[in-house]
Amino acid sequence: MDEFESIWRDLQAVPFEQGFIDVDGRRTRYLHAGSRSQPTLVLLHGSAGHAEAYVRNLDAHGRHFSTWAIDMLGHGYTDGPGHPLEVAHYVEHLLGFLNAIGVERTHLSGESLGGWVATRAAIDHPERIDRLALNTTGGSQADLEVMQRIRTLSMAAAENPDWETVRARILWLMADKTRNYDDIIASRQAIYGRPDFVGAMSDIMALQDPEIRARNIITPAEYGRIQAPTLVLWTSADPTADGTEGRRIASMIPGAEFVVIDGCGHWPQYEDPEAFNRIHVDFLRASA
Average pLDDT of span 45-61: 98
pLDDT band at 2 (very low <50, low <70, confident <90, very high): low
Domains of the chain by range and CATH?
7-285 (3.40.50.1820)
| pLDDT recorded at residue 1 | 44
**In whole numbers, what is the pLDDT of the chain averaged over residues?**
97
Nearest in space to 71 (alpha carbons), one of 56, 103, 49: 49
pLDDT band at 3 (very low <50, low <70, confident <90, very high): confident
| pLDDT recorded at residue 5 | 85
Instruction: Please state, in angstroms and rounded to a whole number, the distance separating the CA atoms of residues 48 and 121.
Output: 20
Give the rounded percent of residues in the chain with a pLDDT score beyond 90. Answer: 98
| pLDDT recorded at residue 183 | 96
pLDDT digits (tens, 9 = 90+) for 159-213: 999 999 999 999 999 999 999 999 999 999 999 999 999 999 999 999 999 999 9
pLDDT digits (tens, 9 = 90+) for 100-156: 999 999 999 999 999 999 999 999 999 999 999 999 999 999 999 999 999 999 999
pLDDT band at 288 (very low <50, low <70, confident <90, very high): low
Average pLDDT of span 20-49: 98
Average pLDDT of span 252-267: 98
Give the rounded percent of residues in the chain with a pLDDT score beyond 70. Answer: 99
Average pLDDT of span 248-273: 98
